[in-house]
Amino acid sequence: MSSAEAPRWKRLEPDTRREQILECAARLFGERPYADVSTTDIALEAGVARGLINHYFGQKRDLYLKVVKRMLLMPGLEENVPMTGSLRQRVERSVEWYLNTVATHGKTYVAVTGSGGIGSDPEVDRIISEADDVASSKTLEFLGLKVEVGSDVRHRAMMRSYAGLVKATIREWIRGGTLSREDAHLLLSEALITIVRDVFPQLAQQAGPERGDAKAPKTGPKRGRDEK
Amino acid sequence: MSSAEAPRWKRLEPDTRREQILECAARLFGERPYADVSTTDIALEAGVARGLINHYFGQKRDLYLKVVKRMLLMPGLEENVPMTGSLRQRVERSVEWYLNTVATHGKTYVAVTGSGGIGSDPEVDRIISEADDVASSKTLEFLGLKVEVGSDVRHRAMMRSYAGLVKATIREWIRGGTLSREDAHLLLSEALITIVRDVFPQLAQQAGPERGDAKAPKTGPKRGRDEK
DNA sequence: CCTTGTTGTTGACACTGTGCCAACAAGCTC
DNA sequence: GAGCTTGTTGGCACAGTGTCAACAACAAGG
């Protein structure tokens, strides 16, 4: 008799298991609405007992928050966009950066930042708002308009508002396909330029002249980023 | 013995009862997130048995959809904004109309159109998207850019994107107070003008010249835009 | 005033999904 | 292999929801 009984389950490192569950959860939350994803589903997907989810993440809501955080961490945040050239050039590179990072997340991003799903959870709003803040600061930095953090809440608020435009536009692009990537690029670029130029007039000077190049519209410097 | 026993509950017309419940539900959904509002709470608030809610509205989700619909009906949609004057004047009147209608709803509006609450329910998204469509068409009409419905999906999509900016901006204004009403007005006006002028160039001509009033904001020649 | 019929309303039922926790077992060390 | 650590399981209790037969408020007819 072979005494080597096959173990009924595999024993993993906490971090590994956590990451695995997080990945399955992210996928499911991207496929169907929050309420339609039971913890049982996630556990089944991860090949794990349901109780383990609570053990690692506490409440289901907490798991969801972790998923949101993980996604909004914005991987690729470090690949600096060189802030040279005219304001328009820099704006368009920033927009391309937006579109690229989002393209990698696809459905899940749209689901998480969804327009007005069921709920409006204050905690989720806070997290998304923070992420918007980070992205905003980064954008301002790309544009050469970096203002010290926490100083001008008004500018940051306006950039969060702009983030609302970005997300809505991306939603039109990814979900319905009612806008092409070029349309999204155009809309977001023009809007951002307007904001910087007309709403932050004093900063615009510091940023240098708008023109100085020929503006290559469609094809921006596409980072070789492919899905999955 | 006084035979007149006081009735244990009042018997109302279905429409009246429906409206009453709807009102209570709207209030509660505006105060706390969807998941934290139990049907029991709503029933208690309305002084009614919980089962009655299901009898009138079916599922809790359906009740929520009714609340959203009721709110996005946009009362005051009929008070036409005279579409005279320069493009800028018309844009600013449209923006004022936006801000006014929203100001009446306050918290509940912010909650319903919340940035990314828990869920992203496709049905809710559809309803909000439809409401955005209506508001967009109305806006285009105000601007004298009315295009026949269903014709140019691209323009409508972009206006829905703009609606994303509107909602995010309003959120900053109403919720956090990080933006003043004047800030919101400025941001939304400039953005809308840009969209109409630079993204819908062919329509812009049909809309007439932009200027005709003073209001040239800060920086000088914003007309120096020819590309595209 | 009592009877009868209609129907708005109630209260209890079963069911699903969640959070919790003690018991179990996989894998390491000696 | 014995003993220990701890990642993992399975079942329990509970809250929230959807359903439905029975009830009671009100109107109409005698």
pLDDT grade for B8, boundaries at 50, 70 and 90: very high
Mean pLDDT of chain B: 79
Q: Does A196 touch chain B (CB under 8 A)?
A: no
If one compares B3 and B183, the residue with the highest pLDDT of the two is: B183
Burial of B221 (0-12, 13-18, 19+ CB in 10 A): exposed
**Which positions 195-224 on chain B have a beta carbon less than 7 angstroms from any atom of strand C?**
none
Residue in A154, A172, A201 closest to B183 by CB = A154
* pTM of the shown model: 0.80
Contact (CB, 8 A) for A155 and B172: no
Each residue of B149-176: pLDDT tens digit?
Answer: 555 788 888 888 999 999 899 888 988 7
Confidence (pLDDT) at A94: 85
- Contact residues for B75 (Cβ-Cβ < 8 A; gap 6+): B101, B104
Q: Give residue B223's pLDDT.
A: 41
State which residues between 44 and 83 of chain B bring their CB within 7 Å of strand C: 47-52, 55
| pLDDT attached to residue B210 | 52
The whole-number pLDDT of residue B79 equals 61
Q: What confidence tens digit (pLDDT) does each residue in A132-166 have?
A: 888 877 777 777 776 555 557 888 888 889 989 99
pLDDT of B18 > 90? The answer is yes
Flag whether residue A164 sits within 8 Å of chain B, measured between CB atoms. Answer: yes
pLDDT value of position A143: 77
Residue A173 structure tokens: 């692009």
Cβ density class B92-127: b for 16+ within 10 Å, e for less: bbbbebbbebbeebeebbbbbbbbbbbbbbbebbeb
Contact status, residue B184 vs residue B172, Cβ threshold 8 Å: yes
Q: Which of B124, B129, B176 is the closest to A118 by Cβ?
A: B124
For residue B156, what are its two tokens? 């409508």
Q: Is B207 helix (H, G, I), strand (E, B) or coil?
A: helix
pLDDT greater than 50 at residue B139: yes
Q: Supply the pLDDT for residue B23.
A: 95
In angstroms, rounded to a whole number, what is the distance separating the alpha carbons of residues B182 and B96? 10
Spatial separation of the C-alpha atoms in residues A40 and A79, rounded to whole Å = 38
Residue type, B71: M
Q: Quote the tokens at residue A138.
A: 């980064």
Q: Which residues of A touch B129 (CB under 8 A)?
A: 115
- Provide the CA A11 to C1' D6 distance, Å, integer: 10
Q: Label each residue of A123-142 as H, E or C.
A: HHHHHHHHHHHHHHHHHHHH
Comparison of pLDDT for B15 and A5, the residue scoring more: B15
Average pLDDT over residues B179-192: 93
Q: Give the range with max mean pLDDT: A49-53, A107-111, B118-122.
A: A49-53
The matching CATH number, chosen from 2.40.50.140, 3.20.10.10, 1.10.10.60, 3.90.320.10, for A14-71 is 1.10.10.60
Instruction: Pick out the nucleotide with least CA–C1' distance to A49.
Output: D9
For residues A93 and B215, which has the higher predicted lDDT (pLDDT)? A93
Please determine, looking at this structure, whether the domain spanning B14-70 carries the CATH number 1.10.10.
yes
CA dihedral B13, B16, B21, B22 (to 10 degrees): 140
Lowest mean pLDDT among A62-76, A104-118, A158-172, B42-56: A104-118
Asked whether the predicted pLDDT for residue B201 surpasses 70, the reply is: no
Q: Which of A38-42, B47-51, B71-75, B218-222 is the least confident region?
A: B218-222
pLDDT > 70? residue B47: yes
More confident residue, B195 or B142: B195
Alpha helices in chain B (DSSP H): 14-31, 39-46, 50-57, 60-72, 87-105, 107-112, 122-142, 153-171, 181-194, 201-207
Q: How confident is the model at residue B64 (pLDDT cuts 50, 70, 90)?
A: very high
Our CA angle for B114, B190, B214, nearest 5°, is 145
**pLDDT of amino acid B222:** 40
CA distance A54 to B10: 45
- At A157, which helix (H) or strand (E)? helix A153-171
Q: Do A128 and B112 touch (CB under 8 A)?
A: no
- Predicted local distance difference test score (pLDDT) of residue A222: 39
CB-based contact B207:B83 (threshold 8 Å): no
Tokens for B11, please give them.
């018997």
Share of chain B above pLDDT 90, in %: 32
Considering only residues B127 and B52, tell me which one the structure prediction assigns the higher pLDDT: B52
Share of chain A above pLDDT 90, in %: 32
* Residue B131 clears pLDDT 70, i.e. is over it: yes
Cβ within 8 Å, pair A157-B163: no
Q: Which range has the worst mean pLDDT, A40-54, A185-199, B191-205?
A: B191-205
Please state the rounded mean pLDDT for residues B127-142.
80
Residues 9-38/B with CB < 7 A to strand D: 9-11, 37-38
- Residues above pLDDT 70, as percent of chain A: 75
Domain boundaries, chain A: 14-71, 87-206
Residue of A nearest to B65 (CA): A118
Question: What is the pLDDT at residue A207?
Answer: 54
What's the CA gap between B101 and A128, in Å, rounded?
Answer: 26
pLDDT average, residue stretch B56-70: 93
How far is it, in rounded angstroms, from Cα A159 to Cα A165? 10
Nearest C-alpha neighbor of A138 from the set A110, A166, A115: A166
With contact defined as beta carbons under 8 Å apart, do B195 and B162 qualify? yes
